[in-house]
Amino acid sequence: MKVPYSWIKEFVDIDKSAEEVVEKLNETGLEATVETFGEYIPNIITVKVLSVKKHPEKDRLYICEATDGNKTYQIITGADNVKKDSIVLLAQIGADIKGITIKERKFGSYTSEGMFLSLEELGLADNADGVWLLPPDTPVGVDGSKLLGLGEEKLIEIDITPNRGDALNVKGLAREIGAIFNIKRKEKKTDIKILNRLIPNISLETDKCYRYRGIVINNVEIKPSSLEVQLKLIKSGQKPINNVVDITNYILLQEGQPLHAFDLDKIEGKITVRNAKDGEKFLALDGNEYSLKSDDIVIADENGVIALGGIIGGETTKVDENTKNILLEAANFDYISIRKTSKRLAITTESSYRFERGIDVESLPEAENKAVEMILDLAGNNSEVMGEKDIYLYPYQPKEIKVRERTVKRIIGIDIPKEEIADILNRLEIPTETIEDGTVSKIPAFRSLDLTREIDLVEEVGRLKGFNEIEESFPSIPINTDKNISYYKFENRTRDFFIDNGINEVITYSFVGERIYKSLNLPLPDIEITNHLTTDFRFMRDNLAVSLIQVQKENLRHQIKDIAVFEIGEVFFNDFEEIRIGILLRGDFIKGFNFKKNKIFFTTKEKWSFLEVKGLIESYLKLLGITDFELKHSEKTYLNQYESAEIFVRGFNVGYFGKIHPEVAEKVEIHKDTYIGELKLKYVSRKLKENALKDGYLYTYFKLKDTPTFKDLPKYPSVKRDLAFEVDDTVSVEEIFKELGNSSKLIEKISLFDIYYLDENRKSIAVSVDFRDREKSLSDEEINREVESIVKKLKEKIKGLKLRG
């Protein structure tokens, strides 16, 4: 809400500048800004039009004579709303309008000595139909800029938090400013005469309207508002329409009470305030027809709905230039109901915005009376207030709330004596008295939604006391229990490992679309967002590969073809979540010049391949203390099954890695030598108290790993023997390693040094084995015997194995 500062000053005698006020408002909790209204434009003057005639030579142009009281001007205009006696703003020769200097200008054989101005040309509206016609009470021959307050008037804009509906009007702001600066607010009470000649026939048939007051005013003359009303509305960002409509808007801004004026003569019979019928139709002032539901509150006559309570008036009963008699409505509706309706029908009005944030039910009659007073003043001498009906079944009972000095001390941290507490609250117009251990307040209706508990008043006290001035202290924090720090550290260590090994961290959206899942031949994820932003953000991913492939594609768009990225993030399933690390690797990871003895420098490139990726993962697992794991061929739809593996620790699948399937690569347009992997780091439960250390997660195994204990350093030397085996091709290297390892206690280390194919079905595997006995030096003879026994055991375990050489 934006209002002129001068309007606020009508309600509080304050001599501070708008800037000072705004600063204090911000410090005490209302977000406020200040700006100057427009810019002073020299050479603008108010003139009265003496005559208007059509331009004899030019279509659609008019020749006007206008006077400033001394001088008469000939003005050519295209606006057809200028009439004899209109008072308008004239930009004289030399005036700067939107960067253009007004000069004498010939239209045919006639000369124009200036230009009539619209609101748009003054920079006060985005569009305007025709010249701005000033009301008849406007003085003629005065400086237009000064009259409007251009470049002078300060406007204060307030952006409220949802609990401060009370500050959404001039009066409320004045109250707040008065409290801050400790100045009593002023207000002129109304005095209107209500005849009892025509009591409107209104009945209330819903519990969602707390108060409904209708007033009938006769013989209203619909015309433009006074200059003062128009200017206030324009400065507050509203467009003047006619006196009655302007006054309802004016009161809304000033008092915070939405009002609605019906053309009484268009209302058919009895008026009912009720819930809408399901499917009931309503043609609103915005020109749209809405279909209503039984939750909506409506005002209806015998022909149907004439207004959507608290939100928008109806087309059928709207006030127009022919209106004579009006019914002025002031009501208080249930804020939840208004909110629901406004949201469902997507209509937000100044009225609904205020109702949703709470309206002062108690000052409703006074606010409405102010409007009546203005209507009587501005809408003609013959008007009379024919009668009123105020339905207010359960009058407001102020809640009593105590504030204990002890609570203030416990929350804010300083001693504030009860007298001061009472003083602060009274300044806020919350009637408060002191009692033995604190204060007791009667909460006025305008804060009834916001102030419901002791703590709410404690905040008010601190706010006006000035939270910023209160000195800080530092709490003594109990020693942390390390419970989750260890996962935090685990994740950091994981991240560091991959970064140190040349992989770049990315963070991608957890959202994924159907398209990428189709391309990867994957079933759609469990979790679907029902109100997703776009189809690419429709699901919550259940793997990281889909996200990383999109990162690769994004980089390919920028011709970045070598890529090494990882992401640590969650994936989502119906009943749980997992934190995973995903990696995607493609292309060269080492490029450089190498030096050879023959003095030739040449470029080397090392490309990510299955074994490099395996090595990366293996050394990460080793870092975690996990050295015992098994690999099995992966059956993932998007991987090349011959170059990919699922990883098992203690029999549980902890992740996978491998090469992308060439068909998938082609479909999603990425390189075929792309490697992808995912490791499951941690189980994330949605249940309270569920043990998150589940099997199948690396963090679990990291936490469960045994602490190694010291073994004596070997005293006796180890002996190396090379062995070569001939086996069937179906026998894996790992199998041989495993069986070898199991076959002798003396084997300390086995390393592969050669492997080659003898024919299609047979291969030779050469290994180097380190033997060591911790008790003594091994003799050649002992080793020979050991090798014999090993080979014998191996032959039993592995069919077709032969020792070579």
Segment 473-492, which members bind another protein (CB under 8 A)?
Answer: 473-475, 477-485, 487-488, 492
Between residue 732 and residue 751, which ones bind another protein under the rule CB under 8 A? none
Smallest distance, another protein to C-beta of residue 779, A: 42
Chain CA centroid to CA 445, Å: 31
Smallest distance, another protein to C-beta of residue 447, A: 13
Smallest distance, another protein to C-beta of residue 702, A: 16
Smallest distance, another protein to C-beta of residue 407, A: 9
Between residue 566 and residue 585, which ones bind another protein under the rule CB under 8 A? 566, 568-570, 572, 574, 576-577
Q: CB nearer to another protein: give 527 or 803.
A: 527
The phi and psi torsions of 192 (rounded to 5 degrees) equal -120, 155
How many binding residues for another protein (CB under 8 A)? Answer: 105
CA distances from 440 to 176, 421, 457, 529, 732 (A): 20, 10, 10, 49, 84
Between residue 339 and residue 398, which ones bind another protein under the rule CB under 8 A? 339-340, 356-357
Smallest distance, another protein to C-beta of residue 291, A: 21
C-alpha span between 34 and 53 (Å, rounded): 44
- Is 498 one of the binding residues for another protein (CB under 8 A)? yes
Residues 6+ apart with CB under 8 A from 64: 49, 50, 51, 52, 53, 74, 75, 76, 77, 82, 116
Q: CB nearer to another protein: give 293 or 762.
A: 293
> Is the distance from CB of 273 to CB of 309 less than 8 angstroms?
yes
Residue in 711, 712, 713, 718 with CA at minimum distance from that of residue 777: 718
Of 102-110, 404-412, 644-652, 656-664, the window that binds another protein (rule: CB under 8 A) is 404-412
Between residue 593 and residue 632, which ones bind another protein under the rule CB under 8 A? 593-595, 597, 599, 601, 604
Q: CB nearer to another protein: give 614 or 762.
A: 614
| Whole-number CA gyration radius for the chain | 42
Q: For another protein, what does the binding mask look like between residues 30 and 69, x meaning CB under 8 A? A: -x--------------------------------------
User: Strands 438-442, 400-404: parallel, antiparallel or unpaired by DSSP?
Assistant: antiparallel
Of 260-268, 587-595, 621-629, 697-705, the window that binds another protein (rule: CB under 8 A) is 587-595
Q: CB nearer to another protein: give 560 or 704.
A: 560
Helix (H) or strand (E) holding 114: none
Helix (H) or strand (E) holding 481: none
Q: What is the DSSP string of 602-632?
A: EEEEEE--HHHHHHHHHHHHHHTT----EEE
- Is 258 one of the binding residues for another protein (CB under 8 A)? no
C-alpha span between 636 and 657 (Å, rounded): 10
Q: For another protein, what does the binding mask look like between residues 125 and 164, x meaning CB under 8 A? A: ------------------------------------xxxx
C-alpha span between 805 and 798 (Å, rounded): 18
Smallest distance, another protein to C-beta of residue 253, A: 20
- Helix, strand or coil, per DSSP, at residue 84: coil
Task: Give strand ranges (E) for 59-125.
Answer: 62-67, 72-77, 87-91, 96-97, 100-101, 105-107, 110-112, 115-116
205-218 as b/e, with b when 16 or more CB fall inside 10 Å? ebebbbbbbbbbbb
User: Strands 674-685, 576-586: parallel, antiparallel or unpaired by DSSP?
Assistant: antiparallel
Smallest distance, another protein to C-beta of residue 520, A: 18
Q: Is 407 left (phi over 0), alpha (psi -120 to 50) or beta?
A: alpha
Of 175-183, 199-207, 334-342, 787-795, the window that binds another protein (rule: CB under 8 A) is 334-342
Residue in 487, 531, 536 with CA at minimum distance from that of residue 510: 536
> Is the distance from CB of 766 to CB of 753 less than 8 angstroms?
yes
Q: CB nearer to another protein: give 109 or 473.
A: 473
Smallest distance, another protein to C-beta of residue 654, A: 20
Q: CB nearer to another protein: give 116 or 572.
A: 572
Q: What is the DSSP string of 336-399?
A: HHHHHHHHHHT---HHHHHHHT---STTHHHHHHHHHHHHHHHS-TT-EEEEEEEE-SS---PP
Of 76-84, 97-105, 122-130, 497-505, the window that binds another protein (rule: CB under 8 A) is 497-505
Q: CB nearer to another protein: give 468 or 709.
A: 468
Neighbour order of strands in the sheet with 762-771: 747-757, 762-771, 719-728, 802-804
Q: CB nearer to another protein: give 229 or 579.
A: 579
Smallest distance, another protein to C-beta of residue 409, A: 8
> Is the distance from CB of 42 to CB of 115 less than 8 angstroms?
no
Smallest distance, another protein to C-beta of residue 28, A: 6
Q: For another protein, what does the binding mask look like between residues 511 and 550, x meaning CB under 8 A? A: x---------------xxxxxxx---x--x-------x-x
Residue 568 one-letter amino acid: I
Among positions 287, 523, 592, 805, the unique one binding another protein when judged by CB under 8 A: 592
> Is the distance from CB of 327 to CB of 293 less than 8 angstroms?
no
Of 120-128, 178-186, 231-239, 410-418, the window that binds another protein (rule: CB under 8 A) is 410-418
Q: CB nearer to another protein: give 244 or 544.
A: 544
Smallest distance, another protein to C-beta of residue 186, A: 26
Among positions 184, 186, 399, 453, the unique one binding another protein when judged by CB under 8 A: 453
The phi and psi torsions of 508 (rounded to 5 degrees) equal -120, 165
Smallest distance, another protein to C-beta of residue 689, A: 6
Of 217-225, 258-266, 333-341, 771-779, the window that binds another protein (rule: CB under 8 A) is 333-341
Between residue 550 and residue 569, which ones bind another protein under the rule CB under 8 A? 550-551, 554-555, 558, 560, 563-566, 568-569
C-alpha span between 773 and 324 (Å, rounded): 115
Among positions 506, 665, 736, 765, the unique one binding another protein when judged by CB under 8 A: 506
- Is 322 one of the binding residues for another protein (CB under 8 A)? no
Smallest distance, another protein to C-beta of residue 167, A: 12
Smallest distance, another protein to C-beta of residue 484, A: 4
Smallest distance, another protein to C-beta of residue 394, A: 21
Among positions 50, 140, 147, 684, the unique one binding another protein when judged by CB under 8 A: 684
Angle at 532 between CA 528 and CA 534, to 5 degrees: 120
